[in-house]
């Protein structure tokens, strides 16, 4: 399959180019960058530390969508929303790994899934997708006497908080309890907060160094505590999962899919 990488000079973009190179059945269709990027005109493969591909990084996303069977997008929300519209227009599959969408932006991605296969995941690792399933199961089994707190840590360059994965874990816990996360989410605690609200799901965010991505879900009652944790060791993990998702879209009808569909968990 021909796979295009938008934002191919970014931290994840370079990993994605490497993952395409390392995956049998995947071929790099090309890469784009923001119009003002210094990387325009460079070879996306060489930028990722690979032998030259003869391709040049362009800023014309439409041309890349037309040349690709699937496009992988780890950029910024405003760019990903524009790319989702291009996926819908061209029928090209899209793997949007970007996090930090507003509800309106997320609705536009869901609308595009009416015309193209889209595999969206806050996290493309197998381990985190198992953690999501375990979190929903534990929340259902443990009941409301257990407080649920979600803790995440990422590198100092991350721009959105809490992480998309932390929010997905919150959604999984809320689904396990049969509640709406928007009604029970406790995102910020500072100063005289009063006692913890029964039934709320709390989030704590840490940032520092080069941490690739740590997540813990803590279930705490009066007598005991359960903690389920995942630590990503190398961001290549997300890139490999995203390319696996891109290959999976071959012959899939339009629709919004998750990594759980790709991994066969559902």
What's the rounded Cα separation, in Å, for the pair 12 and 50? 15
| 220 contacts 143 by C-beta, under 8 angstroms | no
Given 154, 215, 230, 240, the catalytic residue: 154
What's the rounded Cα separation, in Å, for the pair 29 and 21? 11
In terms of CB distance, is 37 or 205 closer to ligand NAD?
A: 37
* In the complex, minimum distance from the CB of residue 13 to ligand NAD, in angstroms, rounded to a whole number: 6
What's the rounded Cα separation, in Å, for the pair 29 and 250? 15
| 256 contacts 116 by C-beta, under 8 angstroms | no
In terms of CB distance, is 17 or 173 closer to ligand NAD?
A: 17
In terms of CB distance, is 142 or 245 closer to ligand NAD?
A: 245
Catalytic status, residue 158: yes
Residues that bind ligand NAD (CB under 6 A): 6-7, 9-13, 32-34, 37, 74-76, 79, 97-100, 121-124, 235, 238
**Helix, strand, coil percentages for the chain (3-state, nearest 5):** 40, 20, 40
First CA to last CA across the chain, in angstroms? 25
Given 2, 21, 155, 158, the catalytic residue: 158
Query: For ligand NAD, which residue has the nearest CB?
Result: 10
* In the complex, minimum distance from the CB of residue 131 to ligand NAD, in angstroms, rounded to a whole number: 13
Catalytic status, residue 83: no
* In the complex, minimum distance from the CB of residue 58 to ligand NAD, in angstroms, rounded to a whole number: 10
Nearest 10 degrees: Cα torsion 170, 76, 266, 261? -170
In terms of CB distance, is 120 or 147 closer to ligand NAD?
A: 120
Catalytic residues: 154, 158
């Amino acid at each position: 399959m021909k796979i295009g990488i938008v934002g191919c000079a970014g931290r994840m973009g370079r990993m994605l180019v490497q993952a395409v190179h390392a995956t049998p059945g995947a071929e790099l269709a090309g890469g784009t960058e923001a119009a003002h990027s210094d990387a325009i005109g460079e070879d996306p493969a060489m930028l990722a530390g690979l032998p030259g591909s003869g391709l040049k990084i362009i800023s014309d996303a439409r041309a890349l969508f037309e040349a690709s069977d699937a496009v992988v997008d780890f950029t910024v929300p405003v760019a990903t929303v524009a790319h989702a519209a291009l996926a819908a227009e061209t029928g090209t599959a899209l793997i949007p790994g970007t996090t930090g969408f507003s509800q309106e932006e997320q609705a536009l991605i869901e609308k595009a899934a009416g015309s193209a296969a889209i595999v969206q995941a806050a996290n493309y690792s197998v381990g985190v997708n198992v953690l999501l399933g375990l979190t929903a199961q534990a929340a259902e089994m443990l009941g409301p006497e257990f407080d649920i707190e979600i803790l995440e840590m990422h590198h100092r360059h991350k721009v959105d908080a809490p992480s998309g994965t932390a929010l997905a874990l919150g959604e999984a816990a809320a689904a396990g309890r049969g509640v709406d996360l928007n009604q029970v989410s406790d995102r910020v605690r500072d100063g005289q907060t009063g006692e913890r609200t029964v039934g709320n799901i709390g989030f704590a965010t840490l940032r520092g160094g080069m941490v690739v991505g740590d997540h813990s879900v803590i279930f705490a009652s009066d007598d005991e505590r359960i903690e389920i944790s995942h630590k990503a060791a190398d961001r290549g993990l997300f890139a490999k999962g995203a390319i696996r998702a891109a290959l999976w879209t071959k012959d899939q009808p339009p629709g919004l899919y998750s990594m759980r569909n790709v991994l066969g968990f559902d």
